[in-house]
């Protein structure tokens, strides 16, 4: 059986509208297992076309090409790899070495692609290089630095290393001087004793001297086919076990070095995008806890009021509501309140948030009287104290102020108000007209000197200047403060506490609400208005939290948009970079294909490059965004008092240790891979003929 059979083959080119041109037409040829065959003919006669159809750099438009009896028209996958590693080696006129790699690498690479393993490939490469007359001092030189004669000998060594069944040479000596030409011919002749060498040439002397058979082509047809009928004996192919050495790593490594600037640029682009992404994750992960922590960083965190909204104008177009004091039982049966809060009557009607306050003989009207249930550690956070002390006992003689109040009071007397006294006074008149017309009046009178014992530092955002007083002390006072005229009238001792507790819902004495106080401020609870069913909960901490929440929502969208833009930009940059790298290397890819590299291996080269860049970027970004989050948190803390706003969940995510960095690495690598593989996969198929054939 013929080694190669070309059966009625034509190669047609469409050269213009309704114009076609046949480079070769209806050619049939057979080649034996061994021998030296030359194809001669004028320039443009179709010699290279015949060779290219055998080497599959080109495809026929009509007819079939068989190799070892198999149709090789549509070589793919394993068959293609087998074809180039075992069956056909190509020696080009223009050498087609990988110019950026060393001499030794160029030759040993062919063996590695075939699967000889790195060590054996290097040994074989050295042997073949010496055989073609390349001195050892050239082994580590870049191929680009060699002379033409040296390059062709290196290319020949690369051809010999895999001992393919056939070597195809298209004018291998076209660019060489006569000495070099003869050396190459001798080696090819030697090879042809056991295997097949097909050479295209228009050097008649060399052809006549070395050929066993000469095929002459004219205008795309066979003009003559002369066989000298020399007996040659073909050699059986040696068997070996294929070793998987990932040679792509070596190519990737030198590519990375060669394109260091571009890779550093990709690294920065990816890092910026990743750092933004990590910070954004840190923000959405940390903001709730940060807000809750900020909300808790208030001395009156544990206190609030609870009221009920009642519709005033039922059935009308506009619905008006007003606050009323809910029924005690309604509050007490609410689970959240029952579990976490103590309920108290609201005494604002007799001890309002803004009583008359005198300080150093001057009236101060900015300060707001704010209740805490007690000054003990269960109810207020003593760690907020920044100066002075928190009163040991609950009385209305000692109170604590916040930083804003401190600043106002300090500015009045130009020294610290701690241990100074303020005078708080208020007078409330209460009158009743009984159903028989009797007129009764009582009054609540408060006039006290209060010592300021300490200052608490709170999150100042949205905060008002406050004086914190003990609500339990006020409650005691109201329990002991008797309404003399009313008591006389009804014949029973009635206190302000009784009077306000018993007030009707529509009476302003109720202040239209109850006060509730967290039983313990340390439980880390935060509440939102939804937690209280139909009742309306309000507190300064909730107010601040909700306004911060709104701000954060807006910020979240801003960050999201910024993030999307950054990531899209990065995809584009890295995609373009790897595509450019791949496009620049079309020729290398074509060479590797003809050495038997698979498409996947060629992709792997570029994948390695971006995966390494990606991996370094991810690690760098993880570390630097972690560091950066500290800096951002420090700045935000100084500006707003919020702590740990950015909290990147490095150590634990969804309760799984180190899930986040692992996810980041996985996603980052996937991202790098996709961005590299996608444009390469969808790019135009590389034309081997165009990349490799000399013009």
Binding site for ligand ADP (CB under 6 A): 13, 15, 21, 23, 41, 43-49
Vertex 241, ends 240 and 243: CA angle to 5°? 125
Residue number with CB closer to Mg ion (48 or 513): 48
CB of 688 to Mg ion, least distance (A): 15
Q: Of the two residues 48 and 613, which places its CB atom closer to ligand ADP in the complex?
A: 48
User: Among Mg ion, ligand ADP, none, what does residue 508 contact (CB within 5–8 Å per kind)?
Assistant: none
| Count of beta carbons in the 10 Å neighbourhood of residue 401 | 27
Backbone angles phi, psi at 566, to 5 degrees: -60, -45
Minimum CB distance to ligand ADP smaller for 201 or for 470: 201
Cβ distance to Mg ion smaller for residue 40 or 107: 40
- State the number of binding residues for Mg ion (CB under 5 A): 1
> Applying CB under 5 A, which part among 44-52, 321-329, 336-344, 620-628 lies near Mg ion?
44-52
| Shortest distance, position 227 Cβ to ligand ADP, whole Å | 21
Q: Rounded to whole angstroms, what are the CA distances from 449 to 415, 419, 420, 480?
A: 19, 12, 10, 19
Q: Which does 69 bind (CB under 5 to 8 A by kind): ligand ADP, Mg ion, none?
A: none
User: Helix count (H) and strand count (E) of the chain?
Assistant: 20, 25
Residue whose token pair is 């909700």: 546
Shortest gap between Cβ of 77 and Mg ion (angstroms)? 29
Does 290 engage in binding with Mg ion (CB under 5 A)?
no
Which backbone phi and psi does 177 adopt, to 5 degrees? -75, 170
* DSSP secondary structure code for residue 495 in this structure: B
What minimum distance in Å lies between the beta carbon of 94 and ligand ADP? 13
Q: How far is the CB of 195 from ligand ADP (least distance, A)?
A: 23
CA distances from 251 to 382, 578, 610 (A): 65, 15, 13
Q: What are the Cα distances from residue 241, in Å, to 5, 10, 123, 497, 640?
A: 29, 39, 17, 98, 69
Tell me which residue of 381, 345, 293, 328 sits closest to 644, measured CA to CA: 293
* Ramachandran quadrant class, 533 (left: phi over 0; alpha: psi -120 to 50; beta: rest): left
- Which listed option, Mg ion, ligand ADP, none, makes contact with residue 108 (CB within 5 to 8 Å by class)? none
Residue 67 CB, nearest approach to ligand ADP (Å): 20
55 touching Mg ion, by CB under 5 A: no
With CB under 5 A as the contact rule, the residue among 48, 52, 570, 588 that binds Mg ion is 48
Q: Cα 227 to the chain's mean position, in Å?
A: 67
Query: Shortest gap between Cβ of 42 and ligand ADP (angstroms)?
Result: 7
- Binding of Mg ion at residue 173 (CB under 5 A)? no
If the CB atoms of residues 21 and 557 are measured against ligand ADP, the closer one turns out to be: 21
**Of 414 and 685, CB closest to ligand ADP:** 685
State the residue number with the nearest CB to Mg ion: 48
CA 74 from centroid of its chain's CA atoms: 41
Q: Smallest distance from the beta carbon of 8 to ligand ADP, in angstroms?
A: 18
Which option in ligand ADP, Mg ion, none does residue 13 bind, with CB closer than 5 to 8 A by kind?
A: ligand ADP
**97 Cα distance to chain centroid:** 39
CA distances from residue 27 to 63, 169, 413 in whole angstroms, order as listed: 9, 19, 112
201 vs 402, beta carbon nearer ligand ADP: 201
Give the pair of three-digit tokens for residue 247: 């040679």
CA distance 73 to 56: 8
Contact 398, 453 (CB under 8 A): yes
Q: Which does 43 bind (CB under 5 to 8 A by kind): ligand ADP, Mg ion, none?
A: ligand ADP
Residues that bind Mg ion (CB under 5 A): 48
């Amino acid at each position: 059986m013929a080694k190669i059979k070309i059966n009625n083959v034509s190669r047609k080119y469409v050269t213009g509208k309704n114009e076609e041109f046949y480079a070769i037409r209806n050619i049939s040829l057979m080649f034996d297992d061994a021998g030296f065959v030359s194809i001669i003919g004028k320039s443009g006669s179709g010699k290279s076309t015949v060779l290219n159809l055998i080497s599959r750099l080109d495809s026929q438009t009509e007819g079939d090409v068989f190799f070892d009896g198999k149709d090789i028209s549509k070589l793919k996958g394993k068959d293609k790899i087998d074809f180039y590693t075992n069956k056909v080696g190509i020696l080009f006129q223009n050498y087609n070495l990988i110019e950026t790699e060393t001499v030794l690498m160029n030759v040993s690479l062919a063996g590695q692609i075939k699967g000889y393993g790195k060590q054996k490939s290097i040994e074989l490469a050295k042997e073949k290089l010496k055989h073609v007359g390349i001195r050892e001092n050239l082994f580590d030189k870049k191929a680009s630095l060699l002379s033409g004669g040296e390059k062709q000998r290196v290319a020949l060594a690369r051809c010999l290393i895999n001992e393919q069944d056939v070597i195809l040479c298209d004018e291998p000596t076209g660019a060489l001087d006569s000495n070099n030409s003869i050396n190459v011919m001798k080696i090819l002749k030697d090879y042809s004793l056991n295997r097949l060498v097909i050479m295209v040439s228009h050097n008649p002397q060399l052809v006549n001297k070395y050929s066993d058979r000469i095929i002459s082509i004219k205008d795309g047809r066979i003009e003559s086919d002369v066989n000298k009928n020399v007996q040659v004996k073909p050699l059986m192919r040696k068997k070996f076990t294929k070793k998987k050495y990932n040679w792509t790593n070596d190519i990737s490594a030198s590519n990375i070095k060669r394109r260091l600037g571009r890779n550093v640029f990709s690294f920065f682009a990816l890092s910026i995008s990743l750092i933004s992404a990590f910070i954004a994750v840190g923000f959405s992960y940390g903001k709730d806890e940060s807000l809750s922590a900020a909300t808790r960083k208030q001395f009156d965190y544990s206190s609030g009021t609870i009221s009920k909204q009642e519709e005033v104008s039922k059935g009308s177009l506009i619905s008006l509501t007003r606050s009323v004091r809910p029924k005690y039982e309604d509050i007490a049966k609410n689970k959240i309140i029952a579990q976490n809060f103590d309920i108290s009557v609201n005494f604002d009607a007799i001890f309002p948030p803004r009583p008359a306050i005198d300080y150093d003989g001057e009236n101060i009207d900015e300060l707001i009287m704010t209740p805490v249930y007690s000054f003990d550690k269960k109810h207020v956070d003593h760690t907020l104290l920044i100066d002075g002390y928190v009163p040991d006992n609950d009385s209305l003689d000692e109170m604590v102020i916040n930083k804003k109040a401190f600043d106002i009071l300090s500015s009045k007397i130009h020294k610290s108000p701690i241990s100074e006294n303020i005078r708080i006074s208020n007078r409330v008149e209460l009158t009743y007209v009984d159903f028989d017309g009797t007129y009764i009046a009582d009054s609540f009178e408060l006039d006290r000197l209060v010592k300021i014992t300490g200052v608490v530092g709170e999150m100042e955002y949205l905060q008002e200047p406050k004086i914190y007083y003990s609500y339990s002390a006020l409650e005691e006072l109201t329990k002991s403060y008797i309404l003399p005229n009313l008591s006389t009238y009804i014949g029973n001792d009635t206190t302000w506490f009784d009077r306000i507790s018993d007030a009707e819902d529509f009476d302003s004495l109720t202040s239209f609400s109850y006060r509730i106080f967290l039983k313990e401020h340390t439980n880390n609870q935060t509440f939102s208005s939804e937690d209280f069913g139909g009742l309306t909960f309000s507190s300064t901490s909730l107010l601040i939290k909700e306004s911060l929440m709104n701000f954060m929502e807006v910020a979240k969208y801003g960050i999201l948009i910024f993030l999307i833009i950054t990531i899209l930009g990065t995809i584009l940059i890295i995609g373009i970079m790897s595509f450019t790298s791949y496009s620049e290397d079309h020729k290398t890819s074509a060479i590797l294909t003809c050495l038997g590299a698979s498409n996947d291996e060629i992709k792997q080269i570029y994948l390695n490059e971006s995966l390494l860049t990606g991996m370094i970027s991810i690690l760098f970004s993880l570390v630097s965004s972690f560091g950066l989050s500290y800096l951002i948190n420090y700045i935000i803390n100084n500006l707003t008092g919020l702590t740990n706003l950015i909290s990147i969940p490095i150590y634990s995510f969804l309760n799984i240790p180190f899930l986040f960095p692992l996810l980041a690495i996985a996603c980052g690598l996937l991202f790098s891979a996709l961005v590299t593989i996608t444009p390469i996969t969808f790019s135009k198929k590389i034309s081997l003929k165009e990349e490799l054939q000399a013009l």
